[in-house]
Amino acid sequence: MTCAAPEPATPMPAGLFADEAGCPRCSWCQATPLYRHYHDHEWGFPVVDDRRLFEKLCLEGFQAGLSWLTILNRREGFRAAFARFDAEAIAAFDAQDVERLVQDTAIVRHRGKIESTIRNARRALELRREFGSLAHYVWRFEPAAADRPQRITREVARTLVTSPASVALSKDLKQRGWSFVGPTTMYAFMQAMGLVNDHLEGCHVRAAALDARQALDMPRA
């Protein structure tokens, strides 16, 4: 991904930082190279792959009360522990698998979240049978452009922790038997999977994420 660095005399907008080449990014990814790679290549880009969507739903649940960087650092451990997030495989996990996972130091060993992931896998299979794919279900909740802020500045971003769409998604999932899918968790999921684009104005990734959504063969709300 190419980056047009701002002129040296141009002040960096609030909420952004510049890398060694002067490339502006959202400040939240500054901590580590892994975080910057996630920001540049995943966060905010639209996803329609069912396995990736299910993985993110699960990992957002594990993140509750923690930072996303904590989960990202353990993502490969989670993938190994949870059958690469194959919903059919996880749906078949039993009590022995729960005990195995509670002892797995490569993941967050929270019994309630582990059990929730297994239950949610079974619910995900139900959604696939009803809607044809998890993607077709999830993208029904993409907010209309008119319901989104026109500009995403640092001040606006600070207010974006839930939305009417994330509340609706959370409510519907809970009614279908899902857990660890509160409105804030679902808004983070929507940010990550490209249902909303919350890269700040001036971030060099924002336009690329917008272009990816424009090219996606998925109806808009």
Q: Which residues are catalytic?
A: 38, 60, 68
DSSP assignment string, 80-130? HHTGGG-HHHHHT--HHHHHHHHT-TTS---HHHHHHHHHHHHHHHHHHHH
* Cα 70 from Cα 62, distance rounded (Å): 10
- Enumerate residues 6+ apart whose C-beta is below 8 A from 159: none
Q: Could you tell me if 170 and 183 are in contact, meaning their C-beta atoms sit under 8 angstroms apart?
A: yes
CA-wise closest residue to 138 among 210, 46, 60: 46
Q: Could you tell me if 111 and 98 are in contact, meaning their C-beta atoms sit under 8 angstroms apart?
A: yes
Q: Could you tell me if 40 and 212 are in contact, meaning their C-beta atoms sit under 8 angstroms apart?
A: no
